[in-house]
Chains A and B, each alone.
Chain A
Amino acid sequence: QSALTQPPSASGSPGQSVTISCTGTSSDIGRHNYVSWYVQYPDKAPKLLIYDVSRRPSGVPDRFSGSKSGSTASLTVSGLQAEDEADYYCSAYVGSRALIGTGTKVTVL
């Protein structure tokens, strides 16, 4: 598998929630909980949002939450704000390597 599968786009109005899926297999997401999420703003480096499926690094608002069911991980952004408009990527540990998702562009309507 060359990449985890994410929907190309997702959108929501300010204040709403948006959930992004990240589909893998029993060899990656379905095998363990080493799943992380990143946000990338235009022309910026990525930033870690979530690790261990659902843990937030210091400084990340609790509007961002992660979960996993089987081989699919999900990122939910609650209380959507204009500043959340960005690209979001999931990532998983796979056999001593990292596999990154195809990316989802979130648009705030």
Chain B
Amino acid sequence: EVQLLESGGGLVQPGGSLRLSCAASGFTFKNYAMNWVRQAPGKGLEWVSGISASDYITFYSDSVKGRFTISRDNSEKTLYLQMDSLRADDAAIYYCSKDLFLGDFHYYYMDVWGKGTTVTVAS
């Protein structure tokens, strides 16, 4: 079964850091671009960041660029999101997702999603 499992969420103070992980199983992780998408409480979806399959090219939304870092370990089949300088408006459920097509081009057709991990930013 194709599966993504996020972890690492929790409560952090404004200005703090958190590292999210997403463990993949059931597919050849190294062949697919991956993404992080978040959803603030009661709000819509927001794409946060993406990383290509094998050349590790990264992309960020303007709202997190310079504060968040996406990375992947293809040998461990794990996606990461390092979040620094966290703000109140970063509080959300963070989902990791897999692109539909294999290869390095990022179509952003996200066909597999994890259940999400919750990040709360408060003092």
Contacts and interface: CB of A to CB of B under 8 A. Distances in A.
B113 A36 contact: no
B116 A97 contact: no
Given A46-B113, A51-B100, A51-B109, A101 B35 contact: no
Interface stretch (A11-19, A62-70, A76-84, A88-96): A88-96
Contacts, number: 65
A57 B100 CA distance: 9
Contacts of B44: 3, 87, 89, 100-103
A97 B50 contact: yes
B106 A46 contact: no
A45 interface: yes
A95 B76 CA distance: 30
Nearest to B4: A45
A57 B69 CA distance: 30
B25 interface: no
B39 to A, nearest CB: 8
B115 interface: yes
Most chain B CB inside 10 Å of its own CB: which residue of A89, A92, A96, A98: A98
B95 interface: yes
Interface of B is mostly: strand
Given A51-B109, A57-B100, A96-B59, A45 B47 contact: no
A92 B108 CA distance: 8
A44 B113 CA distance: 10
A100 B61 CA distance: 11
A93 B95 contact: no
Given A3-B44, A97-B61, A45 B109 contact: no
Contacts of B108: 34, 36, 91-93, 97-98
Contacts of A46: 37, 45, 95, 110, 113
A47 interface: yes
A48 B109 contact: yes
20 contacts: A3-B46, A34-B109, A36-B109, A38-B45, A38-B110, A40-B45, A45-B114, A45-B116, A51-B109, A92-B108, A93-B106, A93-B108, A96-B106, A97-B47, A97-B50, A97-B108, A100-B37, A100-B47, A101-B44, A103-B44
